[in-house]
Structures are given as C-alpha cells and as structure tokens.
Amino acid sequence: MSSPSTTPTTGPDPEPGGGRLVLGCTPIGNAGDASPRLVAALASADVVAAEDTRRLHRLCATLGVTITGRVTSYHEHNEQTRTPELVAAVEAGSTVLLVTDAGMPSVSDPGYRLVHACGEAGLPVTALPGPSAVLTALALSGLPSDRFAFEGFAPRKPGERAKLFAELAAERRTLVFFESPHRTAATLQAMAEGFGADRPAAVCRELTKTYEEVVRAPLGELAGWAAEREVRGEVCLVVSGAVAATGGDVDTDALVREVLLRVADGERLKEAAAAVAERSGVAKRELYDLAVRRRAQ
C-alpha cells in the first residue's frame, strides 16, 4: 500500500534558493486589512500571479508597495495553460505569490489547480491568512457558526437553482452563498420556496466597505426586501440550517420536494426516493408514498 502524499510547507522565511508557492489573502474591501506579511510578500516575491493585474497595482499603490518581481495574470480563462509555467518557476527556485481580487485564492477563486499541481510535484506551498468574505458573513449573520457549509454561487438557471435548494433543504448546517447583486432577489425568492419562507437568514452586503450592510430576517421577508430595491455591491447570503421538527423528524416536505425535482430531472421515482432516503434517514417507502400523493394532488 502506498503512503499518502504530503506537500511540504514553509514558514515566512524559506531556505535560501528554495522555491515555493505562497497564497496571499487580499482585503475583501478595506485595504487596511492587508496583513504585514502580505505587504512584505508583494514587495519581495519573484513572481506575483494576480487574478486581475490592474486591481493588483491599485492595491499596491494604496498600500505603498513597490513590486520588484515579475507580474503575470492568473485567472479562470488562462489558469490551465499558465499553471505549468508557475510550477516550473517554483521548481527553479522562485517564490511565486498568488493573489486574487479579494480573499483567499482557491476559495471560489482561481488557485486550486495551481495548489494541486504543486502538491503533485512535491513543491512547498504555504499561505498568508487574512480576510475572508465567507467567515466574515458567517460571523455577522448571527446564525449558528459551529457547523457550516460554503456553497459558492447558486446556479443561474432557475430549474438548477431550485433543484440545489431542494437537495439542501434538510441540511442541518448553516449555509453560506456568494451572489451577484442583480440575481440576489431571484435567489432569495428561490430560497424562500425551497427552504421555507420562515427560515432565518441574512444578507451581508459590501463587507468591510463604507456602505457595509447586514440585513437579518426570515427568507420570505428578505425576498420582499430585495425585490423592492436595487441591491448593489458584493453579496453574501447566509441561511440557517434545517431544524428537526417536533419528535426528532426531519422536514419531510422539503425531502419530498427534492424527490419530485429529481423525478422532473429524469430520475425514476423509486430511485429518487431511495437516494433521498439514504441521505436523510427517512424511510424510502414513506418518501415514495408521500411523493406519489403529492404528484396526485
């Protein structure tokens, strides 16, 4: 049996001549949140790979940092071709600093592919921790934070979005989503329909910026709030997890909705009921019968 592979990590001061990949956490809004380690890394890295080089230069100008290394772009449209170049730079002994527009690289941003490639090559990878929109929104939401799941952006297509929310309706952990401002109202409405209008939630907008706003209310109210205004800026949606009903039963209505959405997507009713039953712990026969009854109605 082969042993698990491990990726070397390095501290802030690597061995002279040793290459490494550094993931740099950038401010999510307020440039003052940049860490001293990030400032030092921007000034000293041999290569700075940025999701948007123009934003990088604006950030450096604000921080008063002069980049002495080579600057290159690294985004979703070129990461497949640029990854081998950056891996080769690390292999050659360079310190490669990867930064995205905001937050931690690889978390709903480019970076995973490069980290994976360096790991496969046995090259050192480390991170400069810092601001995180996910954790900031979770903390400000006032919802349970002991267990949570980050779901990224919800699907754009209404059918796919409804299917996802039906699958997540029985999830007990707090859920965190990113969303674009012009889709926020539609997503909140779909959440109210999929999770229930009374499910507690929060809209966290423009975090750490001048017009930061956190609105806490049940999903139905938040959907109405968003529909009445033009939502602007970067948005995080935080939704409370499902609560067991009296007697310890899960929300069977949500599970039945998931079964029927699977069926509408082409899955056989028996197989859909079995899949949802296995995940939720509810009896397969019960879900099947409830789904048949719901369809008849």
Hey, what CATH topology would domain 134-165+172-239 get? 3.30.950
- Report DSSP letters for 73-85, one per residue: E--TTTHHHHHHH
Q: Which amino acid is at 72?
A: T
166 compared with 46, residue with greater pLDDT: 46
The reported pLDDT for the residue numbered 280 is 74
Over the range 110-137, which residues count as b (16 or more CB within 10 Å of their CB) and which as e?
bbebbbebbbeeebbbbbbebbbbbebb
Mean pLDDT of the chain: 90
End-to-end CA distance of the chain: 55
- Tell me the pLDDT tens digit for each residue of 108-145: 889 999 999 999 999 999 999 999 999 999 999 999 99
- Tell me the pLDDT tens digit for each residue of 191-228: 999 999 999 999 999 999 999 999 999 999 999 999 99
How far apart are alpha carbons 250 and 266 in whole angstroms?
25
Collect all residues with Cβ–Cβ distance below 8 Å to 274 and sequence separation of at least 6.
284
Over residues 73-91, mean pLDDT: 96
How far apart are alpha carbons 202 and 181 in whole angstroms?
14
Q: Which of 38-52, 175-189, 238-252 has the lowest mean pLDDT?
A: 238-252
Structure tokens at 9: 């990590």
The reported pLDDT for the residue numbered 203 is 98
The domains of the chain are located at: 20-131, 134-165+172-239, 252-296
Contact 214, 205 (CB under 8 A): yes
Contact 176, 214 (CB under 8 A): no
Collect all residues with Cβ–Cβ distance below 8 Å to 213 and sequence separation of at least 6.
203, 204, 205, 206
Superfamily of domain 20-131: Tetrapyrrole methylase, N-terminal domain (3.40.1010.10)
Q: Which amino acid is at 32?
A: G
How far apart are alpha carbons 208 and 199 in whole angstroms?
26
> In terms of DSSP bridges, do strands 20-24 and 125-128 run parallel, antiparallel, or are they unpaired?
parallel
